[in-house]
């Protein structure tokens, strides 16, 4: 079945440093979604990318969808303590009805 891999599993940074997490799918995706889960919280939808090579920005967050629509990345510029949490990517499975989530990247930020 479809697999969605994320790296790294963990990332610890100093406040102000940049952070990037990568997502790779075993199959071509029609779209990819990103979610953030704060410690003790629930996943919160961040963004959806649909087009090949698409780049979207949300303040300090930059999301990119690969040309082959099999990979994606999330880059955070100048991290802040409020960025702490686990970032998940998720892509639709073969039937397109269900989302397959990556295992996430846990970001911790040292103030």
Partner 1 sequence: DSGVTQTPKHLITATGQRVTLRCSPRSGDLSVYWYQQSLDQGLQFLIQYYNGEERAKGNILERFSAQQFPDLHSELNLSSLELGDSALYFCASSVGDRDQPQHFGDGTRLSIL
103 binds partner 1 (CB under 8 A): yes
User: Closest separation between CB of residue 35 and partner 1, Å?
Assistant: 8
Residue number with CB closer to partner 1 (24 or 101): 101
Binding mask 8-37 for partner 1 (x = CB under 8 A): ----------------------xx-x----
Instruction: Find the binding residues for partner 1 in span 39-78 (CB under 8 A).
Output: 41-45, 48
Binding mask 72-101 for partner 1 (x = CB under 8 A): ----------------x---xx-xxxxxxx
Nearest C-alpha neighbor of 22 from the set 64, 80, 88, 73: 73
| CB contact at 8 A, 37 and 101 | no
Task: Determine the Cα–Cα distance for residues 101 and 48; give it in Å rounded to an integer.
Answer: 13
What value does the CA radius of gyration of the chain take, rounded to a whole number of Å? 13
DSSP, res 102:
P
- Provide the 3-class DSSP secondary structure of residue 36: strand
The residue ranges that bind partner 1 (CB under 8 A) are: 30-31, 33, 41-45, 48, 88, 92-93, 95-104
């Amino acid at each position: 079945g479809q697999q969605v891999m994320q790296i790294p599993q963990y990332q610890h940074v100093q406040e102000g440093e940049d952070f990037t997490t990568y997502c790779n799918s075993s199959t071509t995706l029609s779209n990819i979604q990103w979610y953030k889960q704060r410690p003790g919280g629930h996943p919160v939808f961040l963004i959806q990318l649909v087009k090949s090579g698409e780049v979207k920005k949300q303040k300090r967050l930059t999301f990119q969808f690969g040309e082959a629509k099999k990979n994606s990345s999330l880059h955070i510029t100048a991290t802040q303590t409020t960025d702490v949490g686990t970032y998940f990517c998720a892509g639709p499975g073969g039937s397109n009805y269900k989302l397959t989530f990556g295992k996430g990247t846990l970001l911790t930020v040292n103030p």
